[in-house]
Amino acid sequence: MTTQMEAAQGGVLTAALIQAAEREGMEPAVLRRSVAEGTVVILANNRRPHTVATAVGAGCQVKVNANFGTSPRRTHLREELHKLDLARRAGADTVMDLSTGGDLDEVRRAIIKASDLPVGTVPIYQAVVQTTGRGGDIPAMDPEEIFSVIEGQAEDGVDFITVHCGVTTRSLERLQRQGRVTDIVSRGGAFLAEWMLANQQENPLYEQFDRLLALARRYDLTLSLGDGLRPGSIADATDRAQVEELITLGELAAEAHRAGVQVMIEGPGHVPLDQVETNIVLEKELCNQAPFYVLGPIVTDVAPGYDHITSAIGGALAAYHGADFLCAVSPSEHLGLPTPAEVFEGVVAAKIAAHAADIARGDPRARQRDRKMSTYRKALDWQGQMQWALDPDKITAVHQERDLGGDVCSMCGEYCAMKVVRERLRSERA
């Protein structure tokens, strides 16, 4: 038995499962059943034993991923490691290295080495970058290279990979018939579509899915089935191309489960508020109840520069309705490569969304945290609040820059509601 799923199916409580269960406040036996059924994944490449065990899926707290990585125009390894550090401090549960610039192997290995959190990648990026680096265009990419890149990354210890297996000849036909506003906005999806249309061939990650499963099984690499056709605008949300792809991802999830391979499903994208719940129900029903990993969803297209907020709105609602894993979106998502500070801001916003959903889902620890925070707030005890605040440094920074004095703040000064009636209500109660 080589995967967490197979171990769980065999009744084995692995060290990673026990550690993950402890973190979730769950009985290991309960978590084991969920992992066996595939409704929860444990992100842990079996070649990299020192990762923080992280469970994603039904019954677990909502998790947050932070994306970063070099681009062809900005390739500073040190800056990416700084982003990793800030993402951790902001509370990210996992990180993804999406690098496309510089020495990709070096960057990835440095991130894996520096990260005790699970690390994910999108291997098709490296396959394309290597192809174009040799002077080829995307259609010149050799499918064998995709698989060798995946194997190399798994060997390095990557815990989960995005593979856009649902971009098929059929789904591209449906995309063309659909007539979208923004066609394809997934980079990996676009690379594969370009290759497929130019070569008039099926997606190798779909056609050779068995081979991918064998590889994933060997390293217990969790497959994150990417939504290459996710909507990139509100107008394209929940359209036929998206749902066609989701059905395919569901079939592949069922195959993965039969092979003992851990699998998540990636989801949109740009979705209006009124379609968020529908998207969660569809994913769970069509995809064997596999964990749902959403990018956003972003609830309006018109706020570039503020997409940590547009995605926090959609992410909170998605997670409340059952999404398991939120991909943090930086403020500048639609403008440019995020700065380290923007990676931090994006993770904080996603953590707010995840925590708000945990509260609404009835997680007693989440509710307790808010109760403690509010008890200290009532007492005007700033030190106490800093123990429970999502970003304690922010409290210090605001107080240092403004005129905080004594037990009231500059908002209301002596007209503090908490303070005005505190004594009176206390004596009335006595």
| Residues of this chain, 187-216, that bind a second copy according to CB under 8 A | 187, 189-191, 193-194, 197-198
Size of the site for a second copy (CB under 8 A): 109
Q: Between residues 260 and 346, which has the closer beta carbon with respect to a second copy? A: 346
Contact indicator for 232, 184 with CB cutoff of 8 Å: yes
Query: According to the binding rule CB under 8 A, does residue 425 interact with a second copy?
Result: yes
Query: According to the binding rule CB under 8 A, does residue 430 interact with a second copy?
Result: no
Query: According to the binding rule CB under 8 A, does residue 159 interact with a second copy?
Result: no
Q: How far is the CB of 43 from a second copy (least distance, A)?
A: 25
Contact indicator for 353, 319 with CB cutoff of 8 Å: yes
Q: How far is the CB of 430 from a second copy (least distance, A)?
A: 11
Q: Between residues 74 and 170, which has the closer beta carbon with respect to a second copy? A: 74
Q: How far is the CB of 399 from a second copy (least distance, A)?
A: 7
Place of tokens 């999806």: 189
Q: Shortest CA distance to 113 belongs to which of 97, 129, 128? A: 97
Contact indicator for 62, 324 with CB cutoff of 8 Å: yes
Q: Between residues 50 and 429, which has the closer beta carbon with respect to a second copy? A: 429
Q: Between residues 28 and 188, which has the closer beta carbon with respect to a second copy? A: 188
Q: Which helix (H) or strand (E) holds 84?
A: helix 77-90
Applying the rule CB under 8 A, the residues between 347 and 376 that interact with a second copy are 348-349, 352-353, 355-357, 359-362, 367, 369-371, 373-375
Query: According to the binding rule CB under 8 A, does residue 424 interact with a second copy?
Result: yes
- Among positions 17, 312, 327, 343, the unique one binding a second copy when judged by CB under 8 A: 312
Which stretch in 10-18, 37-45, 257-265, 383-391 sits in contact with a second copy by CB under 8 A? Answer: 383-391
Applying the rule CB under 8 A, the residues between 7 and 66 that interact with a second copy are none
Binding mask 319-338 for a second copy (x = CB under 8 A): -x-----------xxxxxx-
Applying the rule CB under 8 A, the residues between 168 and 187 that interact with a second copy are 175-176, 181-187
Query: According to the binding rule CB under 8 A, does residue 233 interact with a second copy?
Result: yes
DSSP 8-state symbol, 71: B
Alpha carbons 226 and 147: distance in angstroms, whole number: 16
Query: According to the binding rule CB under 8 A, does residue 147 interact with a second copy?
Result: no
Applying the rule CB under 8 A, the residues between 70 and 109 that interact with a second copy are 71-74, 100-101
The first and second tokens of residue 143, run together, are: 């499918």
Helices (H), 134-239: 143-156, 169-178, 187-199, 204-207, 209-219
Q: Between residues 30 and 390, which has the closer beta carbon with respect to a second copy? A: 390
Q: How far is the CB of 366 from a second copy (least distance, A)?
A: 8
Query: According to the binding rule CB under 8 A, does residue 418 interact with a second copy?
Result: yes
Nearest 5°: the CA angle 227, 100, 103 is: 140
The residues facing 94 across adjacent strands are 65
Non-local (6+) Cβ contacts of 22 within 8 A are: none
- Number of H helices and number of E strands within the chain? 20, 10
Q: Shortest CA distance to 207 belongs to which of 161, 252, 158? A: 252
**CA max distance for the chain:** 81
Q: One-letter amino acid identity for 104?
A: L
DSSP 8-state symbol, 408: B
Contact indicator for 192, 165 with CB cutoff of 8 Å: no
Q: Between residues 116 and 414, which has the closer beta carbon with respect to a second copy? A: 414
Alpha-carbon distance values, 210 to 125, 214, 254, 297 (Å): 21, 6, 12, 31
Q: How far is the CB of 37 from a second copy (least distance, A)?
A: 26
Query: According to the binding rule CB under 8 A, does residue 404 interact with a second copy?
Result: yes
Query: According to the binding rule CB under 8 A, does residue 136 interact with a second copy?
Result: no
